[in-house]
Structure 1
Amino acid sequence: MEGVSFTYPDTGVQALRDVSFTVMPGEKVALIGRTGAGKSTIAELLLRFYDPDSGSICVDDVPIQDYPLEALREQISYVPQDVFLFGDSVRNNIAFGLVGNAEKSPETYAAMAHIHREITDFPKQYDTLVGERGVTLSGGQKQRISIARAFIKEAPVIILDDCLSAVDADTEQQILGQMRQYLKDRTALIITHRISGLMHYDKILVMDNNTIAESGTHEELLLKGGIYAELLETAAKDDR
Structure 2
Amino acid sequence: MARALLQDRPVMIFDEATSNIDADSEADLLAVMHELARDRTVIVVTHRVSGLLEPAAGWGDAQVIVLEHGKIVDAGSPAELDQRCMPFRRLARTPVNEEVGAHAH
TM value normalised by structure 1: 0.35
Q: Paired residue for 1:162, among 9, 12, 16?
A: 16
The 2-side partners of 1:164 and 1:234 are apart by 14
The residue aligned with 1:221 is: 81
Q: Which has the larger radius of gyration?
A: 1
1:210 and 2:70 are equivalent in the alignment: yes
The 2-side partners of 1:156 and 1:196 are apart by 26
For structure 2, which runs of at least 5 residues remain unmatched after alignment?
A: 54-58, 100-105
Q: Note closer, same or farther for the CA distance 1:207–1:225 as it changes in structure 2 (3 Å cut).
A: closer
The residue aligned with 1:173 is: 27
Matched-pair contact (CA < 8 Å) for 2:12–2:43? yes
- Alpha-carbon offset, residue 196 of structure 1: 0.9
Q: Paired residue for 1:188, among 42, 67, 70?
A: 42
Q: Note closer, same or farther for the CA distance 1:182–1:222 as it changes in structure 2 (3 Å cut).
A: closer
1:235 and 2:95 are equivalent in the alignment: yes
Per-residue CA deviation, residues 10-41 of structure 1 (Å, 9 max, x unaligned), is: xxxxxxxxxxxxxxxxxxxxxxxxxxxxxxxx
Is the partner of 1:149 in helix, strand or coil? helix
Q: Note closer, same or farther for the CA distance 1:165–1:176 as it changes in structure 2 (3 Å cut).
A: same
Is the partner of 1:198 in helix, strand or coil? helix
Aligned partner of 1:216: which letter?
G
The 2-side partners of 1:214 and 1:181 are apart by 25
Query: What are the within-5 Å matches in structure 2 for residues 52-201 of structure 1?
Result: 147-199=1-53, 200=59
Aligned partner of 1:155: which letter?
R
Matched-pair contact (CA < 8 Å) for 1:196–1:232? yes
The residue aligned with 1:47 is: none
The 1-side partners of 2:90 and 2:39 are apart by 32
For structure 1, which runs of at least 5 residues remain unmatched after alignment?
A: 1-146
Query: What are the within-5 Å matches in structure 2 for residues 32-51 of structure 1?
Result: none
Q: Note closer, same or farther for the CA distance 1:206–1:235 as it changes in structure 2 (3 Å cut).
A: farther
Aligned residues: 92
Is the partner of 2:51 in helix, strand or coil? coil
The 1-side partners of 2:91 and 2:12 are apart by 25
Structure with higher helix content: 2
Is the partner of 2:52 in helix, strand or coil? coil
TM value normalised by structure 2: 0.72
The 1-side partners of 2:28 and 2:67 are apart by 25
- Alpha-carbon offset, residue 225 of structure 1: 4.5
Poorly superposed stretches of 4+, deviation over 6 Å = none
The 1-side partners of 2:34 and 2:17 are apart by 16
